[in-house]
Amino acid sequence: MKNLESKLDYKFLEITRLRQALTHRSFVARNGDVVADNEQLEFLGDSVLSFIVSERLSRKFPALAEGELSRVRSRLVSASHLFQVGQKLEVGQYLFLGRGEERSEGRTKPALVVDAVEALIAALYRDGGLIAAENFVDRFVLPSNLKAATKELVLSDYKTALQEMLQADQEKPPIYRVVAEKGPEHRKMFVVEVRIAGNRMADGQGSNKKRAEQEAARILLETIKPRGR
């Protein structure tokens, strides 16, 4: 745990808080009342993380609409992103696990790692207040270039939503292709088509290829949803 404290650049006033954040219920089940598991801390950490990310985004990007802020936040607090945070910190190697989880490679399970990251945020909050939790989020959760990452997440949202929907239906991913370029060079507009299973489904226009792809995905999503998707 001292090694983890070094990575975090934070020394816990109550080391039991850090231990609890790293303790899976399978360890408690085998070791009685040695220490509580991390489930309540995980619950608290999820809320603390959401608050900090919301505060950072709304303060830094006052011009973004609520829906756009919500979509960016959902990506930054998603399990896939937090799993990457946990991997970077090698959280899995510090977990207290029962024998069953050890045998089933619990230290590499995304769910266990993500739960521990959220619990760790709560442990920092309880031990050092909001500042300690904010320092963790700023260093490990938020991208180093938050402005560029936010712009990319906003632009990619409809494309991502379309791809995830198709994956859920076990369909092939969409294919985007530029079919036309309009206007003078300094004000060029791109027209992009999106195809699914070889069928042309929608066209979108934009000042660059990415925006045109985004618009095509948005239009297609709007036409699909009324059909019961």
CA atoms within 13 A on the CB side of 138: 9
Give the residue among 57, 52, 46, 79 at the shortest CA–CA distance from 135: 52
pLDDT score for 229: 41
CA distance 172 to 159: 14
**Distance of alpha carbon 206 from its chain centroid, rounded?**
27
| SS3 (DSSP) at 189 | strand
DSSP, res 185: G
pLDDT score, position 200: 84
C-beta separation of 1 from 94 below 8 A: yes
The SS3 call for residue 25 is helix
> pTM for the whole thing?
0.70
Scan for tokens 């300094």, then name that residue: 186
Residue type, 35: V
Cβ count within 10 A of residue 135: 15
Beta strands in the chain (DSSP E): 175-182, 189-196, 199-206
List the CATH code of the domain at 2-142. 1.10.1520.10
pLDDT value at residue 64: 82
**Rounded distance between C-alpha atoms, residue 131 and residue 179, angstroms:** 51
Low-confidence stretches of the chain (pLDDT < 70) are: 32-34, 155-156, 225-229
First to last CA, the chain: 47
Q: Which residues are catalytic?
A: 46, 118
The pair of structure tokens assigned to 158 is 């409809």
Contact predicate 40/53, CB 8 Å: no
Helices (H), 61-136: 66-76, 79-89, 99-103, 110-136
Cα angle 56, 85, 110; round to 5: 125
Q: Say if domain 150-227 classifies as CATH 3.30.160.20.
A: yes
| 68: β partners | none
Segment 139-153, tens digit of pLDDT = 999 988 888 888 777
Domain locations along the chain: 2-142, 150-227
| pLDDT, position 150 | 83
Give the list of residues 6+ apart from residue 171 with CB closer than 8 angstroms, or none: 196, 197
